[in-house]
A and B are shown apart, each in its own frame.
Chain A
Amino acid sequence: MLYPAEWQALWLTIKLALFSSLLLLLLTAPLAWWLSRGQSAGRNAINALLTLPLVLPPTVLGFYLVLLLSPDSWFSQLLRLMGIEALAFRFEGLVLASMLYSLPFVVQPLQQGFGQIAQDLLNQSKAFGANNWQLVTQLIWPLSRPALFSAFILSFAHTLGEFGIVLMIGGNIPGQTQLLSMLIYDQVESLNYARAHLLSGLLLLFSFSVLFWLYQQQRGQQQQGQQQRSQK
Chain B
Amino acid sequence: MSLQLKLNWLASNFHLQLELELNNHWIGVYGQSGSGKTSLLKAIAGLLPAATAFCSLDGELWQHDCFQLALSKRKALYLAPDAVLMPHKTALQQLQLASHWSQSTVDLKQMIQDFELEPLLALYPSQLSSGQQQKLALAQALIAKPRLLLLDEALAHLDHQQKAAVLQKLKLYQQQQGFMLLWVSHQMEDLCLYCEEIIWLKHGQLQRQQQLSSPHSNQLFYAI
- Residues of chain A touching chain B, judged by Cβ–Cβ distance below 8 Å, are 118, 120-121, 123-131, 134, 138-139, 142-143, 225, 228-229, 231-232
Interchain CB contact (< 8 A) of B88 among A127, A128, A134, A142? A142
Please list the 10 inter-chain residue pairs (A to B) with the smallest Cβ-Cβ separation, ordered nearest first: A126-B71, A130-B101, A129-B102, A128-B101, A228-B126, A129-B101, A120-B84, A127-B71, A128-B144, A126-B72
Interchain CB contact (< 8 A) of B76 among A121, A127, A139, A142? A127
Residues from chain B with a CB closer than 8 A to the CB of A138 are 86, 97
Within residues 134 to 152 of chain B, which ones have a CB less than 8 A from any CB in chain A?
140, 144
Whether the pair B75, A127 counts as a contact (CB closer than 8 A) is yes
Whether the pair A127, B126 counts as a contact (CB closer than 8 A) is no
Interface size class on chain B is 20 to 34
Assess A123 versus B86: contact at CB under 8 Å? Given A225-B126, A228-B126: no
- Majority SS at the chain B contact face: loop
Residue pairs across A and B with Cβ atoms less than 8 A apart, 9 shown, are A123-B71, A124-B78, A125-B86, A125-B101, A127-B45, A127-B75, A134-B101, A139-B86, A232-B128
Q: How far is the CA of A127 from the CA of B73 in the complex (A)?
A: 7
Is the C-beta of B87 less than 8 angstroms from some C-beta in chain A?
yes
Whether the pair A124, B103 counts as a contact (CB closer than 8 A) is no
Whether the pair B72, A131 counts as a contact (CB closer than 8 A) is yes
Interchain CB contact (< 8 A) of A228 among B76, B80, B101, B127? B127
Q: How far is the CA of A231 from the CA of B86 in the complex (A)?
A: 18
Residues from chain B with a CB closer than 8 A to the CB of A228 are 124, 126-127
Please indicate which of the listed interface residues A127, A134, A229, A232 has the most CB atoms of chain B within 10 Å of its own CB.
A127
Nearest-Cβ distance from residue A201 to partner chain B, whole angstroms: 40
Residues from chain A with a CB closer than 8 A to the CB of B98 are 128
Whether the pair B126, A229 counts as a contact (CB closer than 8 A) is yes
| Residue in chain B with minimal CB distance to A226 | B126
Q: How far is the CA of A118 from the CA of B86 in the complex (A)?
A: 10
Within residues 86 to 105 of chain B, which ones have a CB less than 8 A from any CB in chain A?
86-88, 97-98, 101-103
| Residue in chain B with minimal CB distance to A143 | B88
Whether the pair A127, B84 counts as a contact (CB closer than 8 A) is no
| Residue in chain B with minimal CB distance to A134 | B101
| Residue in chain B with minimal CB distance to A116 | B87
Q: How far is the CA of A142 from the CA of B144 in the complex (A)?
A: 23
Whether the pair A123, B47 counts as a contact (CB closer than 8 A) is yes
Nearest-Cβ distance from residue A196 to partner chain B, whole angstroms: 47
Residues from chain A with a CB closer than 8 A to the CB of B85 are 121
Residues from chain A with a CB closer than 8 A to the CB of B126 are 225, 228-229, 232
